Structure 1
Amino acid sequence: MEYQEKVREDLIIWRSKVLKRSGLFNQLSKKAQTKINGLIPEKAHKIITNSIKNMVKATLVGSNMITNKKQLNDKSLYERDELLKEKLITYRKTAVVEGAGTGAGGIFLGLADFPLLLSIKMKFLFDAAAVYGYDANKYEERLFILHVFQLAFSSDDKRRETLAIIENWEEKKETLVDMDWQVFQQEYRDYIDLVKLLQLIPGFGAIVGAYANHNLFDTLGETAMNAYRIRFLAAKQLNG
């Protein structure tokens, strides 16, 4: 109970961080990216959206096949948090090595980083679901995973909207059918575009790739842990 109280305090701080407006540079970058996206023909948007949608769905299936299904129903919240931290270290190391390797190869290997990093992130989120006792075989749990991903890598407004869904998941999930895939892919691309473009520069890209993937995974790990903490505590309160 003492640990759960500490977690509740941590969640208040994290929630404030999520709701905080981005800095001026990020706001200007988002405006520029929105303007650029407006110049891209609708047909091209549909092609990109379908490509990423299919890539994410294929990754979801693949991640589910290799994720340990054992659910840790007898574990405390502290034990689950510690286990996820251990998993985060392992996944982050993999992402750093992958980012350095693809970044060192210049443009062609740099482009390969997108699907590779995406698959590592999704595999981590499937493991996070299992750590907190949720079955990613269920469609609603896959939707939750996608919302955690979107919360981690979105603009200010979308982040607020997604946090509200996660905080009220049991109620909101009944109204959700699928993701808005165009928004999903555009938010993710806009979030990582600037740093990933630098990764395409031969030589320098290796440093950027490793550093970027390290930070992206830290963001994802923090978001996943707190999203599942919210659900865990809500379930505890509901069950008395």
Structure 2
Amino acid sequence: MVESERYRHQIEWEISQWKQKIFKRPGLLENSSRKFSGWLNAKIPDKVHQTVTSTIKGIVNTVLFTAKFVPNGPVLLETPLAARDAKAKGVISRYQKIASAEGAGTGAGGVLLGLVDFPALLAIKMKMLFELAHIYGYDTADLRERLYLLHVFQLAFSGFEQRKKIFAVLSDWNTYQNQFAEQSNAEPQVDWRTFQQEYRDSIDFRKMLQMVPGIGAIVGAWANYSLIDDLGETAINCYRIRLLQLENNQ
């Protein structure tokens, strides 16, 4: 068996393990965390929700409609998947270090700096996704590829039911992006309120601990490291699936 075939079997197994992980029904801890987040969200004034939603929408729109996050490096073409994966893991490791340092710094500052961490970490995640897209051969100068990244992000940071819907879109991305391309002056139809609540609910447990006096710096570094790890794993497997589908259709 040639090396590429062995590697293909290996990543197919890894993809199957990842799918089991993301489609595993939430356990007691996750359910409790989400119930608490739901209770907390109900107590927060609607104006606050609107402000947070506007902040996230602003950051994501910057990602989608400007060139701010587009990497300077080339899009990798004609590159074996094993080499792409190795390079991607190196990029994820680099961003984990960046995010950990940022989380430790803001975690040491308590609640106020913890709030600063929210948009900063979001920007770090998006920048990493752009680099990963280029590693797997997709040019983020294309708006459709940025929209793909937005769905990858949502898959990584959504609840069980929402993950199923997003994965279905990603699994049939060509159909979705063709519909998007056919629309005149197309702009992504995003439920921003749901987007921000799913994201916040997914990270709340880890990020709330970051604001506890005395342990904030340690927890902040751990939380940001693990959140980057979750997103990186999701991105790698989404692109693996996409490239394997492309190969199978050729």
Q: What is the TM-score of this pair, normalised by structure 2?
A: 0.88
* Range with greater deviation from structure 2 (34-43 or 162-171): 34-43
Q: Which residue matches 1:211? A: 222
Aligned to 2:96: 92
Q: In the alignment, does 2:136 pair up with 1:125?
A: no
Does 2:169 align with 1:146? no
After superposition, the Cα gap between the structure-2 partners of 1:25 and 1:131, relative to the gap in structure 1 and judged at 3 Å, is same
Superposed displacement of residue 238, structure 1: 1.4
Q: Deviations over 1:35-61 (max 9, x none)?
A: 433454545433321221002222453
The partner residue of 1:107 within 108, 111, 119 is: 111
- CA–CA distance in structure 1, aligned partners of residues 213 and 23 of structure 2: 36
Distance 1:69 1:111 in 2: 32
1:70 maps onto 2:74 in alignment = yes
Deviations 1:175-223 (A, max 9, x none): 4533221111110111112221221233310011011111111111110
Q: Over the residues paired in the alignment, what is the CA RMSD in angstroms?
A: 1.8
Please say if 1:29 is aligned against 2:33: yes
| Separation (CA, whole Å) in 2 of partners of 1:202 and 1:36 | 20
Give 1:197's aligned residue.
Answer: 208
Query: Whole-Å Cα distance in 1 between the matches of residues 113 and 63 of structure 2?
Result: 19
Amino acid at match of 1:86: G
Q: Equivalent residue of 1:21, what SS? A: coil
Residue identity (%): 45
Deviates more, 1:198-207 or 1:155-164: 198-207
* Residues in 2 aligned to 1:8 and 1:40: alpha-carbon distance in whole angstroms: 44
Aligned to 2:243: 232
Give the whole-Å Cα distance in 2 for the aligned partners of 1:33 and 1:202.
21
TM-score, normalization by structure 1: 0.92
Aligned: 1:158 with 2:169: no
Aligned length, in residue pairs: 238
User: Shift of residue 88 of structure 1?
Assistant: 0.8
Give the structure with the higher percent helix. 1
Q: Distance in 2 between matches of 1:62 and 1:210?
A: 29
The AA in structure 1 aligned to 2:116 is: A
Q: CA deviation at 1:32?
A: 3.1
Contact 1:110 1:200 in 2 (8 A): yes
Q: Deviations for 1:119-149, whole angstroms, at most 9, x for unmatched residues? A: 1100000001000010111111111101111
Output the amino acid matched with 1:237: N
Stretch of structure 1 that moved more, 206-215 or 44-53: 44-53
5+ residue gaps, structure 1, are none
The one-letter code matched in structure 2 to 1:143 is L
Indicate conservation of the 8 Å contact 1:73/1:133, yes or no.
yes
SS at match of 1:64: coil
1:220 to 231, 235, 248: 231
Amino acid in structure 1 at the alignment position of 2:95: Y
Closer, same or farther: CA 44–98 of 1 in aligned 2, 3 Å: closer
Q: What is the CA–CA distance in structure 1 between the aligned matches of 2:119 and 2:43, rounded to whole Å?
A: 25
